[in-house]
């Protein structure tokens, strides 16, 4: 007993501020990152705003987080699987690291019919962002990468963490060694590939987050040809494909030759409100080979087996229900609802005289504030209207002078946001 007290005292002391440091060196790559990840940083500013205005009713058009309830037939399937886990017959432990066979088959049939994608080329996971990080483990620190500018920040940040980049250059707001492919309304949001140096990996998101633009078939043919000639690998992020209104490809595998040069990630997050449930997938075709002829798929499989234990069995039951005929109908209904929100936001910003882009093929509206600093505009809208948006520069230097408005929200909140924006900018 007498020995316990000093131990407790010691523990208590250790909770007090201390100057003790370990002898472990900080990962120099993490030290290169500029501030926090974009969305937690926005959440931090939102929280500070709540402290300042405790009574304000904040509306979020910021992070693309779904708000509408998951259709009942999908949650019923998850409920049944969850309940089954409490029975001898229904219990299952670790699943296949690559995902359940039925799930992989359903994904291949639903999203890749006629594209020659086989179920064993699809890896079911806990989401596209997590797969991007795991793909970086496959590529390692020595590859060069290109990203659309602006682009979803996970590509750049995971590349920095992996050690593929040099330091952040404040003068150009870019990490050295990354090729930023400028995509603006001036080039139809598609990079001028003739001026892009060769890189090993090309991250490409279409429909695009944050600009909402979607690449045409001709543009994607150009991209695949560019990757083929350069011996590059495209990581094609199709997380918003279901939002496509125009007749553009929904998958890179609609383009001949893509099997030899492209990986594709997808997600149920924005399709079925699975941002919290967590379910996504990545396609790695057998023909995609490293320079020594080794299949990329085998290395991705190795990483998945080591760093992942398979997607949750309950989430996969939900995913299978999503891909049933009724589930597909329910998902499309939900997507239509968010697309109506997008149209309302586009109308509002346009009627206020702003130039907007996107909105037709993705749940994001890209709004131009010429000559203005994106974080200033973000601050102005938050301060005066209690609305959270996302500053365009958070997606790369090409996003400066823009904000992104997300269409994920309850209808009454979207309408309330539009009336506050009218008051602010009319």
The CA distances from residue 326 to 67, 131, 333, 421, in Å, are 21, 28, 11, 38
Sequential DSSP letters for 271-338: HHT-TTT--EEEE--TT-B-TTS-BHHHHHHHHHHHH---S-HHHHHHHHHHTSHHHHHHHHHHHHHH
- Applying CB under 6 A, the span of 57-65, 108-116, 199-207, 311-319 interacting with ligand MLT comes to 57-65
- Applying CB under 6 A, the span of 63-71, 101-109, 189-197, 284-292 interacting with ligand MLT comes to 63-71
Q: How far is the CB of 38 from ligand MLT (least distance, A)?
A: 8
Say whether residue 134 binds ligand MLT (CB under 6 A): no
Burial degree of 359 (CB within 10 A; 0-12, 13-18, 19+): buried
C-beta of 159 vs 313, nearer to ligand MLT: 159
Question: Is the bond preceding 28 in cis, omega lying within 30 degrees of 0?
Answer: no
DSSP β-bridge partners for residue 283:
122, 264
- Applying CB under 6 A, the span of 4-12, 62-70, 223-231, 412-420 interacting with ligand MLT comes to 62-70
Angle ∠(153,143,193) on CA atoms, nearest 5? 70
Q: Is the dihedral of CA 305, 129, 136, 29 positive or negative?
A: negative
Contact letters (x/-) for ligand MLT, 144-163, by CB under 6 A? --------x-----------
| Binding-site member from 164, 209, 385, 413 for ligand MLT (CB under 6 A) | 209
Query: Could you tell me the two tokens for 234?
Result: 């495209």
Using CB under 6 A as the binding criterion, the count of chain residues that bind ligand MLT stands at 6
What's the CA gap between 258 and 422, in Å, rounded?
45
Q: How far is the CB of 406 from ligand MLT (least distance, A)?
A: 6
- Applying CB under 6 A, the span of 11-19, 61-69, 177-185, 303-311 interacting with ligand MLT comes to 61-69
Q: How far is the CB of 367 from ligand MLT (least distance, A)?
A: 15
C-beta of 152 vs 378, nearer to ligand MLT: 152
| Binding-site member from 64, 285, 398, 409 for ligand MLT (CB under 6 A) | 64
Say whether residue 339 binds ligand MLT (CB under 6 A): no
C-beta of 144 vs 406, nearer to ligand MLT: 406
Element (H, E) at 122: strand 122-125
What's the CA gap between 63 and 153, in Å, rounded?
12
Query: Could you tell me the two tokens for 251?
Result: 């998958």
Contact letters (x/-) for ligand MLT, 396-415, by CB under 6 A? --------------------
Binding to ligand MLT in span 92-131, by CB under 6 A = 129
Q: How far is the CB of 66 from ligand MLT (least distance, A)?
A: 9
C-beta of 144 vs 208, nearer to ligand MLT: 208
φ/ψ of 287, rounded to 5, equals -75, -10
What's the CA gap between 242 and 250, in Å, rounded?
7
C-beta of 112 vs 268, nearer to ligand MLT: 268
Q: How far is the CB of 221 from ligand MLT (least distance, A)?
A: 27
C-beta of 226 vs 243, nearer to ligand MLT: 243
Q: How far is the CB of 67 from ligand MLT (least distance, A)?
A: 12
Query: Could you tell me the two tokens for 175?
Result: 């990490």
What's the CA gap between 367 and 405, in Å, rounded?
7
SS3 state at 268: coil
| Residue closest to ligand MLT when measured from CB atoms | 64
C-beta of 125 vs 232, nearer to ligand MLT: 125
Ramachandran category for residue 191: left, alpha or beta (phi over 0 → left; psi -120 to 50 → alpha): beta
Element (H, E) at 15: helix 4-15
Contact letters (x/-) for ligand MLT, 65-84, by CB under 6 A? x-------------------
C-beta of 179 vs 209, nearer to ligand MLT: 209
Say whether residue 63 binds ligand MLT (CB under 6 A): yes
- Applying CB under 6 A, the span of 58-66, 169-177, 200-208, 241-249 interacting with ligand MLT comes to 58-66
Site residues for ligand MLT per CB under 6 A: 63-65, 129, 152, 209
């Amino acid at each position: 007993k007498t020995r316990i007290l000093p131990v407790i005292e010691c523990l208590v002391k250790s909770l007090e501020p201390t100057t003790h440091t370990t002898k472990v060196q900080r990962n120099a790559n993490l030290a290169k990152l500029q501030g926090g990840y974009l969305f937690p940083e926005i959440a931090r500013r939102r929280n500070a705003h709540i402290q300042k205005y405790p009574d304000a009713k904040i509306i979020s058009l910021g992070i693309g987080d779904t708000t509408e309830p998951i259709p009942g037939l999908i949650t019923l399937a998850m409920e049944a699987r969850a309940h089954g886990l409490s029975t001898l017959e229904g219990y299952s432990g670790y699943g296949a690291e690559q995902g359940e066979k039925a799930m992989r088959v359903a994904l291949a049939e639903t999203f890749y019919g006629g594209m020659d994608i086989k179920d064993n080329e699809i890896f079911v996971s806990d989401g596209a962002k997590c797969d991007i990080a795991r793909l970086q483990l496959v590529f390692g620190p020595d590859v060069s990468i290109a990203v659309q500018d602006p682009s979803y920040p996970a590509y750049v940040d995971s590349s920095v963490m992996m050690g593929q980049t040099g330091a952040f250059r404040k003068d150009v707001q870019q990490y050295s060694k990354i090729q930023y492919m400028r995509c603006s309304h001036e080039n139809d949001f598609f990079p001028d590939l003739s001026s892009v140096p060769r890189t090993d990996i090309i991250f490409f998101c279409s429909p695009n987050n944050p600009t909402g633009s979607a690449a045409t078939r001709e543009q994607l043919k150009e991209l695949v040809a560019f990757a083929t000639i350069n011996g590059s690998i495209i990581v094609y992020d199709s997380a918003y494909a279901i939002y496509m209104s125009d007749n553009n490809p929904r998958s890179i595998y609609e383009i001949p030759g893509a099997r030899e040069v492209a990986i594709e990630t997808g997600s149920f997050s924005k399709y079925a409100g699975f941002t919290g449930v967590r379910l996504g997938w990545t396609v790695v075709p057998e023909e995609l080979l490293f320079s020594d002829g080794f299949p990329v798929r085998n290395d991705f499989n190795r990483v998945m087996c080591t760093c992942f234990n398979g997607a949750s069995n309950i989430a996969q039951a939900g995913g299978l229900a999503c891909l049933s005929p009724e589930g597909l109908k329910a998902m499309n209904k939900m997507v239509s609802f968010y697309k109506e929100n997008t149209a309302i936001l586009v109308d509002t910003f346009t009627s206020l005289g702003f130039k907007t882009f996107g909105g037709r093929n993705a749940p994001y509206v890209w709004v131009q504030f010429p000559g203005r600093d994106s974080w200033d505009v973000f601050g102005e809208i938050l301060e005066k209207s209690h609305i959270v948006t996302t500053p365009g520069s958070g997606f790369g230097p090409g996003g400066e002078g823009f904000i992104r408005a997300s269409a994920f929200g309850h209808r009454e909140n979207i309408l309330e946001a539009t009336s506050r924006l009218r008051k602010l900018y009319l």
